[in-house]
Structures are given as structure tokens and as C-alpha cells.
Amino acid sequence: MKGNRAALAVALAVVLLAGGWWLLRRGSSAPAVQLIPLFESAQKRPESATFQVIEADLNGEKKQAIYTVPTSRLIYKVRIPDDAWLRVSVGTKPESWTQEGDGVLFRFGVSDSRTYDPLFTQHVNPFSNPGDRKWIQVWVDLSAYAGEEVELIFNTNTSPEGKGDDPRNDHALWGAPEIIVR
């Protein structure tokens, strides 16, 4: 009986040590990759488009953001860590909230230079939908690209798909984009 208790105690200790090691290992994951400091090195299309890093306040929540006027594309070339996620907020400048227009279509995807994988699409129209008058938090799982150097592609369009182009009052914001490890 004493032998069984000792074996059980040893097994429990091994499980606890292994679990602690696993938690510590996960806690020491790669740091977040902030994309705003990499803004100058990102490709911007079209080159003549408006791109600015600004501090944007949407309903009292301030974020450093990339401001652009659609149609635009911003491309970051990065190596994706294990267990990576993109965390970004999308929204439009407050001056567009009460001005006519049909909003902005935000799209995000990943390219390995051969293929493009669309991973996120969000139409934001604060003129017609007052619920869009805020930052909209987005999480995109990037773990399928772990260890790869890829292009993160942030697109904005002047209108939702299937509608004609309506660029009126399209003031798109990509708020605090970063790659985090979960």
C-alpha cells in the first residue's frame, strides 16, 4: 500500500513539474511585433495614396493608428512566430460618422508570394450603422504561417463588394496593429 502511495506521489510530482515547465515555456514566447514602428518600411499602394500614422480617438478610446483613404494597400513583410495572432482594431475617423457615404471595406490577408489567403473582411459604415462609431477589435489566427516569412496585406476599399465605388467620407483607420503570441 505504501508503495502505491509513493508511486502516485511521484507521478503527481512529475505531472506538476511538466505542467509548470510547459506554462513557463509558453510564457516566454516571442514578444509582440508592433507594426506601427515598421510603418515607414511597409509598401504602400498606390504610392500617391494618403497614409499617415496618427493618434485617433473613437468614442474616448485612443489608439495609435494608420490612417488611409481607400482604395489602399499596406504590405508588411514579417516572419510569423509560433502561436501568432494579428490583433488590430478597425474604424473610421469621427468626421465621417455623420457624413453621407457607404463606409469602408477592410480586408486582411497573407501572401507567401505565390498565393494570397484572405483571412478577414469587415464593412464599417458609421453613417448608416451608429454601432460602427467605435473601434472594432479584430483577432486573426496566423499560426498556420508559423516560421514563414510572409506578407501581411491590409486593404481598404471604398465600398462593400457588389456596390459601385462611393469614396465619399471614407477615412479608414487600422488601430494599433500588432502580432502577438498567445
Residue 17 backbone phi and psi in degrees, to 5: -65, -45
How is domain 31-181 classified at the CATH fold level?
Jelly Rolls (2.60.120)
Q: Across all residues in the chain, what is the average pLDDT?
A: 86
C-alpha separations of 139 from 134, 142, 162 in Å: 16, 9, 25
Is-above-0.75 flag for pTM? yes
Residue with cell 499596406: 74
Beta bridge partners of 122: 106
Domain boundary assignment for the chain? 1-30, 31-181
Q: Which residue has the higher pLDDT, 161 or 5?
A: 161
On the question of pLDDT at 29 being above 90, the answer is no
Tens-place pLDDT, residues 121-180: 999 999 999 999 999 999 999 999 999 999 999 999 987 776 777 778 889 999 999 999
Beta bridge partners of 181: 84
Residue 22 backbone phi and psi in degrees, to 5: -65, -45
